Structure 1
Amino acid sequence: MNTDQAYELLTDAGVNEDISIQTVRRWLRERKIKYVGTVPQNSGYILNDTDQALNMLKDAGVSDRIGIQIVRRWLREGKIQNVGNGRSEYLPNETLSKVYLNNDTDQDKIMGQLKVKINAQEEHIKGMEQLHKTSIDTLIQQRDNLNKEIVNLEYENSDLQKETKKLLKENIELRNQLLKLTEELSKGRKIDPEMIHSTPPPNTNDYRQKLGLSKTSSQKEILAGYKKLIKVTHPDHGGNATAFHYIKTDYDQFRNSIKG
């Protein structure tokens, strides 16, 4: 092994640059290595066996545990030609090949366990993703249903507002006609038959007509219709105060007529 190879191996083993240079110089003085250029490069091997590699690393200050790991790697990479007899002080009564084999077996076992854990984690993640997607789909469906319900309520509210305006107009016309008749009577004038004819006579179906109900509607249905209109026209709910007043008056009259 020459100086360049020794320096390269030491730095590859994690020995810092200064210590690597000092160690290479010492080995050169001790004739453990040759000066660069004096050793023929016949093969890719740098070290003769694992024992030599272990001794070299220990001499450079590398710990036993790290040294064994580095030697195993160098053996795999083809930097060491042979496996030593394992009688060095690093591995008493145990060959490096045996350690290498046992370590690989342990590593295979650990790798297998890790793969099992990874597969379990992936399955758990898939389950969580499916649950998340199902929750999102459910929330989207609920949102769409609520939007449809809002649209239906808006349509219904719009129809009620139109019906309220219509009833209000009819009620105002009826009250104007009643005021005219009252005024004529107070002045002692004759009542125009056409005026009397134009004023609709009170009847039990009048409330049903105002509410747009059929003539066969029950009193319970009439009450429900008035309550619905009162709720829509109430000022606290954004309704028209005048419309609310007229509808409330008619509602009270109808209730009194029932009691009477």
Structure 2
Amino acid sequence: MNTDQAFTLLKSAGVSEEISIQTVRRWLRERKINYEGRGNQKSGYILDDTDQAYHLLKDAGVAASIGIPIVRRWLREGKIQDVGSESSKTEYITNEITSKQLLNNTTEQEKMIRQLKVKIKAQEEHIKGIEELHQNSIKTLVQQREKLNKEIASLQNENSKLQSEAQVLLKENIDLRNQLLKLKEELYKGTKREPEKQDIPPIPQNFHQKLGLSKSASHKEILAGYKKLLKITHPDHGGNARAFHYIKTDFDNYRKSLKG
């Protein structure tokens, strides 16, 4: 602390100008202050701690009841760097600082609590949104499952119908095959011959009667009847070669009779 700072502090403490000058001169002789400022001047602090400030004011003749409030004010104004260790003299100073610190801490804690509440509320809303999304997803999945079950039941019903129809068609096919075999047997019945006879038996000339047609049937109807029998008895279609040969010969004779 230099002389100018010491004089300013004493004036700020309410010490008269004359006593302030005398006190500064004495402090300078006692080397308590410097003529030129150094040390903490650049940092903004004038005094190191409250103990130093209290002793200087006491040395200047300032009563303790007046000095303590002044030291407290200097501390708030930033003229003193730290709180001293002499509790008996700095009790009121430290109490004020502690109260101020507690107040600041309380404010900070309230601010943190408000921020935490905001975060908690945001998280609760987020969780609520996730729960709603989860419920909607479950509802959608249930609806899809019900739809799939209905489709499965419909497909099973259609499958049952198709199986029934297939059984009916199979039965009809068996009946048709039986009828075809019966027809082949009837056609083949008159084709058997004795070993000593010729391969081709005598061919009757009544083509209408042989094909089961009326006497008024046209030539086209007779030809169509022969072609149908040839197709049924053809060996490539499961027919009898002997019956096919018989019908083919009869068919050729009929065509020859048309040309004659």
Bucket of the pairwise TM-score, normalised by the shorter protein: 0.3 to 0.5
Q: TM-score under structure 2 normalisation?
A: 0.45
Structure 1 length normalisation: TM-score?
0.45
